[in-house]
Amino acid sequence: MAIQLRPSQALRLWQQTSLAEVRGQRPDLTERQMAILLTIYLDPPPHTVRGLADRLGVTKPVITRALDTMGAMKLVSRHRDERDRRNVLIKRTVEGALFVERFGDVVVAKAQELPL
């Protein structure tokens, strides 16, 4: 059986999670950066700039810049593809995995606190 969520619960979940993230002093990411990060950590590799741009429906520079930013935060890393040196493969990092994991835990916690 699929996850059943009423609209009011969905909105409350999003609000509570967003509030927790805004109030926390973690590195803050834009919605696009978050979508990219989650895609890297949830979708099967390999991940390329082009692939991510298509997945998000945005231009390549958006991905490059997001990777610059998140790379500086050590949330992702870039490696030249040795088989086709035009490609850049984006990989996970320990810090990034921890960040994503912690975020998932926040959502789960807020979901449990939801009123029925």
Report the distance separating Cα 59 and Cα 52, nearest Å.
Answer: 9
Interface map 88-107 toward DNA (x if CB under 7 A): x-------------------
Which tokens sit at 9? 């619960």
Ranges of beta strands (E only) in 3-113 are 76-80, 88-92
* Residue 87 contacts DNA per CB under 7 A: yes
Report the distance separating Cα 45 and Cα 105, nearest Å.
Answer: 23
Q: How far is the CB of 18 from its own copies (least distance, A)?
A: 4
Residue pointed to by tokens 């298509």: 54
Ranges of beta strands (E only) in the chain are 76-80, 88-92
Position among 10, 15, 45, 68 found at the interface with DNA (CB under 7 A): 68
Interface region with DNA, contact rule CB under 7 A, candidates 10-18, 37-45, 52-60, 98-106: 52-60
Q: How far is the CB of 80 from its own copies (least distance, A)?
A: 26
Helix axes 7-23, 94-112, angle to 10 degrees: 130
Q: How far is the CB of 72 from DNA (least distance, A)?
A: 9
Q: Which does 61 bind (CB under 5 to 8 A by kind): DNA, its own copies, none?
A: DNA
* Positions that interact with DNA (CB under 7 A): 30, 32-33, 48-51, 53, 58-69, 78, 83-88
